[in-house]
Amino acid sequence: MPQKILNTVKRPDRSRAARYRHQDRIWRLNAARWRQEILLLLLSAVPGGILFLFGGSIGWAVAITLGCYALSLLYRLMRLARSIRRQITDHANYGLTGLIQDRQRRVRASWVRRQRKLVDLLKRYHRSAMSVPDAMVVLTPLREIEWLNDAACDLLDLTQNDVGIRIDNLIRNPTFVNWLGEGASGRVLEFQSPGDEHRALNLRMEPYGEDRSLL
């Protein structure tokens, strides 16, 4: 028991340390991108500096420097836009465009992680719903079967191949058909199981989602 308590105390520290390491990596990467941008700006100043050394005016030197830097930035932005449009991840970008690319990669990685968690959650929910002993059938507004669990297949004599078929075309018990046609929401119906005549069933229809019904 003391060891379990100790483990529960240490977990937040490890999680906090991992967040600090992650933030430190991001900070170091951002600093490297800004150093790259400064280096690109200095390289853009080389032609203007050469012109100034050979007697050119400082105005022309500054104009050439800004022009070279603008062309460099425009080229990198076009390269970044092409890589995003084509979803190319191996195009290296430097400086400010590298910052944008890094941010886009982090957002995409976070989105992928959330999607994986959502898929795992849906799979667990699906497995849980399939193992419930009570029959569950999701119906569309047209009373077509959209989903059913294993218990519904057993108790209502249905199969997974019946998805997309109207349930009143599969269960032709007059009592059930009338109950379904009169608006079954909230009302309990008792009738014999189509799969086992010696078994009595209690059916209830409840709203499910925006326009679905859960039987």
Could you state, in order of their start, the residue ranges of all structural domains in the chain? 2-120, 132-214
- What fold does the segment set 132-214 form as a domain? Beta-Lactamase (3.30.450)
Question: Which of 52-61, 135-144, 190-199 bottoms out in mean pLDDT, i.e. has the lowest?
Answer: 190-199
The percent of residues above 90 in pLDDT, for the chain, comes to 0
Neighbours of 38 (CB within 10 A): 11
For residue 110, give both structure tokens: 């976070």
- Reading the block at residue 49, the tokens are 């500096």
pLDDT at residue 26 greater than cutoff 70? yes
With tokens 């890589």, the residue in question is 83
Categorise residue 42: left if φ over 0, alpha if ψ from -120 to 50, beta otherwise. Answer: alpha
The CA distance from 101 to 91, in Å, is: 9
